[in-house]
A and B are shown apart, each in its own frame.
Chain A
């Protein structure tokens, strides 16, 4: 099965190890993984701020980049949801709309793809640590995917997953919201971190680097010791101890 990676601009810029983990996980599942080089950003920063025309430029770039793809898989529910928004952006342009629909139809978030398309839940991963999971809003509400990450995590050996209070509340990221509405975003992320602390988990797992960048940025600023990891990192982890792994310097693991 041919899978085209849509690694997201955020992963490419800041979290390339997530893209690498995702590649290795999919290859282990016998996917023929390719990386379309024309990909940049889904356009969400412009779209959500109301700049439709600027967002369309990003969208056209992505539609073209993934033109030949069979399946498009991304480590972000939010960016996947943005692809699914494309058809609405080209309501008055039949040609682009048709291509946008084709892209929307073949796009999946990583967990969703593994569980629902490949039909696999146990990836043989092991991660001995106490962790909790942040359910990202766009993945649950816009993609409607509420179960896949939990199914995958339930098979990770040694992982003790504890529930997170008010997990349905947004972490305060919201793209440009996080810089336009700083005082409100701050209260939201602080409440999220309070609930994470209440779980006494060593690790916070999420499936969207946007949310994770926000939560981790605030945790670092507060000097707290909770580790923040993308679910692809957990799923690709097979040998070493969990908490120990999380403490490693992840940079340089790549090249």
Chain B
């Protein structure tokens, strides 16, 4: 399945999410927990001296890398190839899928195991592989849960199954896999582990995503907790790594900084259980390492952001710190965004990759509270990018309402003419008096209508501050 989730219009998705009490409670408690853990591991950790300095370093590394992306991509490609790996640049999702299909078909592979990867969700790789007769199994526990639950979609980029609780997972395991035990996480995990073990041994091809690719050494770094990625990258004979073209670091030195920022920001861990460096070193006499390595570098619309005001969106290291503090995400959850990239970064990235036709509402699904910008470990000005999207949307990129354009024009005129403003202020109480009851407006006309659907609007004051101020000043002058 590609980047898009569902076919319902935005407000229907929002409505459904808002009425999903369980999901909402799960989101709120996850946010509260993750926020606390992140703060403890970042601003609260004295061993870092000053978290802000780390953020500055992260921002600098990402900016430098993206400004020199062509250089580092070439370097990565050369160093990966020098170690015996194959590199393929895919301009589109289709190109990436076709290449991977060909690799798999050439190996006559029937069984593929995967580690967690958002970019393979983005390009719809599983369906592409199933279409050529492959059996694809997700080995990340959360992705595994979603996959066996009739291909449910991720609702969070780090914790894809955040919208499910252990009872729901137990029921899914029972229904789909004949599970007989309880909802205890240990028992659920042990069951999945057993099922996955078989698959790891059977698989001919292993596919992973990529947290960071180290340009100068040709290494793919994977940041994981479950250990499944190590099985995926060790057991099958053929290895395929799929990466978004911006997921690159110059050297291990920068990798160190970014892994620190990622682990602490994503889950409040100083370091995840595994940080795996995967290099395509082919040892002729090795019996247990993969025989063939492929690195698929996906553009998929990313280059549209290069050299534009949106370039910093490509600095993202997918930690979801912005998602975890977003008050909109808190109430509508991930699926309502209609994209596998949700929350503030999703609202910025999805329209870049998928256009305003599909994702035009997302930049407006933010109160611009800037909690995202404050949380971002590489200092992407997320709320500013949302405003930039709105600017593009109303100036030709999208379809703003004609009434909105007109009212903004009127606003511009009114806000640059003191006499007009004073006239409007003077007239407002009388004009609104038919709607006013006990100094409040419960059912406002025109543009006030959506406001008064859920709240009262204050009646415009009949008092005139300007007049009061003049008299007050005059009085003070007289007193002297």
A173 adjacent to B455 (CB under 8 Å): no
A23→B415 contact, CB < 8 A: no
CB neighbours of A220 from chain B (8 A): 440, 455-456
Q: Is B50 an interface residue (CB 8 A)?
A: no
* Interface residue tally on A, bucketed by range: 35 or more
CB of B390 closer than 8 Å to a CB of A: yes
Which chain A residues numbered 198 to 246 have a C-beta less than 8 Å away from chain B?
Answer: 213-214, 216-218, 220-221
B336: shortest Cβ distance to chain A, in Å? Answer: 9
- Contacting residue for A12 out of B332, B439, B451, B465, CB 8 A: B465
| In the bound complex, CA of A254 to CA of B454 (Å) | 30
Choose among B331, B368, B414, B453 the residue with the greatest number of A CB atoms under 10 Å from its CB: B368
The answer, yes or no, to whether B393 is at the interface (CB within 8 Å) is yes
Nearest CB on B from A194, distance (A): 11
Q: Which of A36-67 contact B (CB under 8 A)?
A: 37-41, 43, 45-55, 57-58, 60-61
Chain A nearest CB, measured from B328 CB (Å): 6
Contact check, A180 vs B461: say whether CB atoms are below 8 A apart.
no
Tell me if B439 and A251 are in contact (CB < 8 A): yes
Q: Are A12 and B411 in contact (CB under 8 A)?
A: no
Residues of B within 8 A of A15 (CB): 458, 461
**In the assembled complex, which residues on chain B have CB atoms less than 8 Å from the CB atom of A38?**
418
Q: Which chain A residues lie closer than 8 Å to B412 at the CB level?
A: 46, 51, 53-55, 57-58
Q: Give the contacts of A155-186 with B (CB-CB under 8 A).
A: 166, 168-170, 172-175, 177-186
Question: Would you give the shortest CB distance from A23 to chain B, in whole angstroms?
Answer: 7
Q: Which residues on A sit within 8 Å (CB–CB) of B370?
A: 137-138, 141-142
Are B466 and A170 within 8 A (Cβ)? no
Contact status B465-A177, CB under 8 Å:
no
Given the contacts A179-B450, A187-B18, A217-B451, A7 and B465 also touching, CB distance less than 8 Å: yes
Interface residues on B, range: 35 or more
Distance between Cα atoms of A248 and B364 in the complex (Å) = 38
Q: Is B47 an interface residue (CB 8 A)?
A: no
CB pair A49–B408 under 8 Å, yes or no, is yes
Task: Contact check, A41 vs B371: say whether CB atoms are below 8 A apart.
Answer: no
Q: Is the CB of A50 within 8 A of B455?
A: no
Q: Which residues of chain B in 185-221 are interfacial with respect to chain A, using CB atoms and an 8 Å cutoff?
A: none
Listed stretches B65-73, B76-84, B90-98, B467-475; interface member? B467-475
In the complex, whether A13 has a CB less than 8 A from a CB of chain B is: yes
Does B273 make an interface contact (CB < 8 A)?
A: no
Pair A13/B428 contact, Cβ less than 8 Å: yes
Give B396 Cβ to nearest chain A Cβ, in Å: 11
Q: Is B367 an interface residue (CB 8 A)?
A: yes
Q: Is the CB of A14 within 8 A of B465?
A: no
Q: Does B15 contact A (CB under 8 A)?
A: yes
Quote the shortest CB–CB distance from B395 to chain A (angstroms): 7
* A84, CB-defined interface residue at 8 Å: no
Measured between beta carbons, the chain B residues less than 8 angstroms from A178 are 367, 451
How far is B458's CA from A180's CA once the two chains are assembled, in angstroms?
Answer: 19
**B137 lies within 8 A of chain A by Cβ:** no
Q: Measured between C-beta atoms, what is the minimum distance from B447 to chain A in Å?
A: 7
Given A170-B367, A221-B454, the answer on whether A16 and B465 have CB atoms closer than 8 Å is: yes
Is B14 touching A183 in the complex (CB atoms < 8 A)? yes
Kindly identify which residue among A20, A174, A221 contacts B366, using a CB–CB cutoff of 8 Å: A174
Contact of A184 among B332, B400, B453 (CB under 8 A): B332
A11 lies within 8 A of B408 (CB): no
Q: Are A255 and B457 in contact (CB under 8 A)?
A: no
B479 within 8 A of A: no
- Residues of B near A61 (CB, < 8 A) are 415-418
* Chain B positions within 8 Å of A221 at CB level: 442, 454-456
Q: Are A48 and B387 in contact (CB under 8 A)?
A: yes
Tell me which residues across on chain B come within 8 A of A174, comparing CB atoms.
Answer: 366-369
Interface string of B379-400 (1 = CB under 8 A from A): 0000000010111111100001
**Nearest-CB distance from B72 to chain A (Å)?**
29
**CB proximity of B470 to chain A, nearest CB, Å:** 8
Cα(A168)–Cα(B374), bound, Å: 11
Is A14 a contact partner of B395 (Cβ separation < 8 A)?
no
- Cα distance A154–B404 in the bound complex, in angstroms: 43
Known: A12-B425, A52-B391, A221-B455. A184 touches B328 (CB 8 A): yes
Chain B contacts for A181, CB-based, 8 A: 14, 328, 364-365, 367
Would A49 and B390 be within 8 Å (CB), given that A43-B415, A186-B454 are in contact? yes
A7 to B463, CA, bound (A): 14
* Ranked 7 nearest A-B pairs via Cβ: A174-B367, A50-B390, A217-B455, A54-B412, A58-B415, A170-B369, A137-B369
Q: Which residues of B contact A (CB under 8 A)?
A: 11, 14-15, 18, 32, 325, 327-328, 330-332, 364-371, 373-374, 387, 389-395, 400, 404-405, 408-409, 411-418, 421, 425, 428, 439-440, 442, 447, 450-451, 453-469, 472
